Amino acid sequence: MRSIELFAGAGGLGMGLSAAGFIPDLVVEWDKWCCDTIRENRRAGAGLVASWPDPVEADVRQIDFQEFEGRIELVSGGPPCQPFSVGGRHRAHDDGRDMWSEAVRAVREIRPKTFVFENVKGLTRASFATYLAYIVHQLSYPDIARLPDESWLSHLGRLEQHHTSGVRTGLQYQVVWQVLNAADYGVPQRRERVVFVGFRSDLGVAWKFPEKSHSHDRLLWEQCRTGAYWKRHQVAPDSCRLDPRLLAKVDRMTSEPKAFPWRTVRDAISDLPEPSSSRVGHLSNHRFQPGAKAYPGHIGSPLDEAAKTLKAGVHGVPGGENMLLRPDGTVRYFTVRESARLQTFPDTYVLHGSWSEAMRQLGNAVPPELAKVIANGIAQHLQPLCD
């Protein structure tokens, strides 16, 4: 199944799609360091990107997609999210970095069978509700393009009129969206992203988001009731360190949760050696980064919980709170390799640039394992249509 990856970043979303059987004909990313990361891993034959084409380092607004019409099953990408990020400037549709219109243009010109786009949870805040509806309507009716000098609100009005008119001609997609927490799908990080999936209406596909496979309740159960978590790691039970409110929650549980337990920081990185100032053995990107300090509201990620959301750092040094909180209360920055583990990037995947640059790439990325879960569900519906 052929695909096109826009706003590729460090490659997380695309790798998850490739794991589900999608092979990109085109990969577009404007950021030099992200392109270097993809290029170098591609040349090294690192896993899923080895079969990718060389990334096109360009502004997506410069790309003509019409040559791909009728040849592509899926278009994917993460339009720049800073306009909607909690850590950003909150300018949304007034921000020049808002690339949603370009994502819609790609769909209009390529006419793929399906698409998947993702963004930060901040897009779903109440203050952006009207613009969220605008995005969904654009993706549903991409042929109804915005006119020159037309405001986005006027364009939304035309889209709403078409939606309520009952007319069902032209290119249309059945669009669903949902906020997904990566921890609920086996990623050792509490990372919430809003995901949009659309299937072309003429295909008649009935699709839903995958069920959650992991739960926080099951982790608490194994830590506080059965002790299975501590036995698995061969460490002394430490449940007394949990928040009293969580302990009270466990006391109220009447039956064993059926899902898998959330994966924790310890699950993800316990087999890695302590980082040093030099390259550690065969591991790349595993160097100690000095300067970590805890302060109110920024205390790092406890070892025996799912990590907090890794951040790209719009303000200040990227990764400003991307720290490990040890059981003794001390903190240190996660190495790039540890952060890649928390994002489910493989150990063979090398992030290029300084620590802050590599952390920025990871902080903006989609966990490949989360992307794979979504892509597997899409592929199951597409494969019969492609045979």
**Please, what is the angle between helix 100-110 and helix 129-140, to 10°?**
10
Active site residue: 34, 35, 81, 224, which one?
Answer: 81
Contact at 8 Å (CB) between 79 and 29? no
Catalytic residue check, 81: yes
In the block, residue with structure tokens 């591609």: 42
Contact at 8 Å (CB) between 285 and 358? yes
Number of H helices and E strands in the chain, helices first, is: 12, 12
* Segment (H or E) for 12: helix 12-19
Structure-block tokens of residue 341: 């583990």
Structure-block tokens of residue 46: 């690192």
Which of 298, 305, 288 lies closest to 322, judged by CA? 298
In the block, residue with structure tokens 């790439």: 361
**Please, what is the angle between helix 244-252 and helix 216-224, to 10°?**
90
* Residue type (1 letter), 203: L
DSSP 295: B
Give Dmax (Cα) for the chain: 66
User: What is the C-alpha to C-alpha distance for residues 193 and 123, in angstroms, rounded to an integer?
Assistant: 9
The three-state secondary structure class of 353 is: coil
Residues 6+ apart with CB under 8 A from 269: 338, 341, 342
In the block, residue with structure tokens 């990325």: 365
Q: Which residues are catalytic?
A: 81
